[in-house]
Amino acid sequence: MALKIYHEFIRAAPAAEAMEFLFAELRDVMFCIKDRQGRYLCANKAFLLRVGIDKMKDLVGKNTREVFPHSLAINFEEQDLEVFRQGTSISNRLDVATNPDRSLGWYISDKVPVRGLKREIIAVASTTRDLRMKVDVDTEMALIVNFVNLMRERFAEPIRISTLAEEAGIPLRKLERRMRSIMSISPRQLLTRIRVEAAAERLRNSQDSLSEITYRFGFCDQPTFCRQFKNLTGMTASEYRRSFQS
């Protein structure tokens, strides 16, 4: 069954086979492709190691919730849905995911649509880089991860980036430089992204008004929240909420 699913996909999107070959042996980049049903179609060795599966045939055909803890799987599924709905890529998304020992760690993910012979989107290809791997050889990365953890804990507060950097033990200028190098975003942009992601969760799962969400997650006013939300998601907050109610 797994082999059939895989070969049907390759026939529909021949270029995906070259993509799979390109990432097959990379140790510090995890790679996978999933179809519109959320089923895994292929993955590289680094991905299999991360999820604790020995052979690709044991992964193909499974969905995200069969591989990751439920709370993480929901987040990954929503990202995939974003790619399918908008037809655009996701770049440098900071996520929590499972490490090979099943603990949680920080990862940077990229997702792109995979198109079939008729240019329709038939799958999502993902690459994920493990921040923890950098920490092992770079103490500055450990400080950056500490900074990100502090931001995740206190993003709803009226926080100052310089204060968080000081608490994390890393000079602000060095933090700015290193974050732009590894994530292609500034600390302030990361704070906005974290706040928007939290707001998106409330839009999906509550009836809170836009005003309530604005002030709950630290946005200075509703127009700012709405503008930043649309810049990051491509939809207004109201459109986003309706898309999950239909």
* 155 and 53 inside one domain: no
CATH of the domain at 82: 3.30.450.20
Residue pair 200/240 in contact by the 8 Å Cβ criterion: yes
Of 131, 150, 175, the position where a domain reaches its end is 131
* 143 and 70 inside one domain: no
Tokens, residue 50: 């991360």
* 116 and 161 inside one domain: no
* 177 and 231 inside one domain: yes
Quote the CA–CA distance of 159 and 216 in Å, as a whole number.
14
Of 108, 131, 154, the position where a domain reaches its end is 131
Total domains in the chain come to 2
* 112 and 230 inside one domain: no
Q: Residue 223 is inside which H or E element, if any?
A: helix 222-233
Share of the chain above pLDDT 90, in %: 43
CATH of the domain at 147: 1.10.10.60
* 126 and 7 inside one domain: yes
Query: Residue type for 33, please?
Result: I
* 21 and 116 inside one domain: yes
List Cβ neighbours of 235 (8 Å cut-off, separation of 6 or more).
Answer: 229, 243
pLDDT tens digits for 164-184? 999 999 999 999 998 887 666
* 181 and 146 inside one domain: yes
pLDDT tens digits for 182-214? 666 899 988 998 898 889 889 988 999 999 999
* 123 and 9 inside one domain: yes
* 99 and 148 inside one domain: no
Q: Domain containing 163: what range?
A: 138-245
* 109 and 164 inside one domain: no
pLDDT tens digits for 9-47? 878 888 788 888 889 888 889 999 999 999 999 999 999
